[in-house]
Amino acid sequence: MSDFKSSAGRRIGAVILLALLSSCRKSAPATMETAAAPPPGSVVTLRLATYNVRNYNSIDRHIGGEFKPHWPKPEAEKTALRAVICAAHPDILAIEEMGAEGELEELRRDLANEGLTYSYSTLVKGPDPDRHVAVLSRVPLTAVHPRETIPFKYNSAEDTVKRGLLEVDLVTNGQPWALYIVHLKSRITETTDDPRSATEREGEARAVRDIVRKEQSLPGTALVAVVGDFNDARDSPPLKRFTELDGKPLLEIAPDADSRGETWTSAYGRADEFDRSDYILLSPALAVLEKNKGGIADLPAALSASDHRLVWADLSFPAK
């Protein structure tokens, strides 16, 4: 979903965006890795977010009615994007549709210049040459496991998960946990026997789910989050591959809504459709720590930053 453009988004003024970015600079707390250690027995809360940033890369674009080959994401969109991230203030930001390492570093650097510092970053390059999954973090990553090639069967042939899978391991308040970042196949139909690529997307979901199950004690005591753009509805087969197994719960969808109580996270301008495709999924043990504290960013800048909205959840870790 790359061509959403709302009239409201086009009307966002530079003054509003600059004010948002300025407030980010004024209110940004110290990075968590440099903050004082929490007192013994205290609770540490982290904000985890996922955000499809809509082609933060160089691709062919139409700008002002003119075709631009291999063109970067427009600066106005980048400014709006930073305003959204700044307002949400996540400690860990999972990113979909990021370009190469240089573009991830550009976003990290520009956010730092505006007062929000991410000291840790990484991405994985899957088969899609243009769009990658990545992470920015204000807390240390104890391990990084990029998976560029994940095979699965599709239409009786070998295929691969288009954007791979990024896993990072963390320790918060003495508790180790794992974060998996995904971006499943889009709903663009590529073969007539698979409308909206539903079967391919489910195959990707199953392959990723199997990796998570192999590595983690689910649905047992493991602290696990699987987040990203799943490109489908909450009751769809791809989501069900993660949320249930043999009729039993596996991962839970973290509850979240915007300031109006609405839960849509993606928009498709040509069809004038608004739906949900971005999720934070939590293992039962981690869901207990979420305590229904989540949201969807809906400030005006979100309309021009991307065709997706940032989704966040606060996780509170008691001392271990």
- The answer to whether residue 21 sits within a structural domain is yes
Cβ partners under 8 Å of residue 152, min gap 6 = 158, 159, 160, 161, 203, 204, 206, 207
- The answer to whether residue 159 sits within a structural domain is yes
**CB distance 225 to 48 below 8 Å:** yes
For residue 56, which of 3, 112, 108, 100 has the smallest C-alpha distance? Answer: 100
Amino acid 41: pLDDT = 77
- Residue 170's domain comprises 7-32+45-318
Indicate the burial class of 62 (C-beta count within 10 angstroms; 0-12, 13-18, 19 or more).
Answer: exposed
CATH number of residue 272's parent domain: 3.60.10.10
Amino acid 44: pLDDT = 96
Amino acid 247: pLDDT = 87
- The packing angle between helices 14-27 and 75-88, to 10°, is 40
Amino acid letter, residue 37: A
Domain tally for the chain? Answer: 1
Instruction: Reply yes or no: is the peptide bond before residue 219 cis, omega within 30 of 0.
Output: yes
Amino acid 182: pLDDT = 98
Residue 253: alpha-carbon gap to chain centroid = 14
**CB distance 186 to 231 below 8 Å:** yes
- The answer to whether residue 37 sits within a structural domain is no
- The answer to whether residue 231 sits within a structural domain is yes
**Residue range 17-53, pLDDT digits in tens:** 555 555 566 444 444 554 556 777 799 999 999 999 9
**CB distance 173 to 317 below 8 Å:** yes
Please identify every stretch of the chain with a pLDDT value under 50, giving residue numbers as ranges. Answer: 1-16, 26-31, 34
Amino acid 29: pLDDT = 47
Q: d(Cα 301, Cα 286) in Å, to the nearest integer?
A: 31
- List, as one string, the DSSP characters of 18-69: HHHHHHHHHHPPPPTTTSPPPPTT-EEEEEEEEEEEEEES-EEEEETTEEEE
Amino acid 21: pLDDT = 54
Long-range (24+ apart) CB contacts under 8 A made by 59-62 are 59/130
- The answer to whether residue 1 sits within a structural domain is no
Amino acid 157: pLDDT = 93
Helix (H, G, I), strand (E, B) or coil at 158: strand
Amino acid 257: pLDDT = 96
For residue 315, which of 49, 82, 41, 30 has the smallest C-alpha distance? Answer: 49
Residue with tokens 């890795």: 33
Q: d(Cα 248, Cα 225) in Å, to the nearest integer?
A: 18
For residue 82, which of 30, 20, 137, 133 has the smallest C-alpha distance? Answer: 20
For residue 54, which of 95, 10, 83, 12 has the smallest C-alpha distance? Answer: 95
Indicate the burial class of 199 (C-beta count within 10 angstroms; 0-12, 13-18, 19 or more).
Answer: middle
- The answer to whether residue 39 sits within a structural domain is no
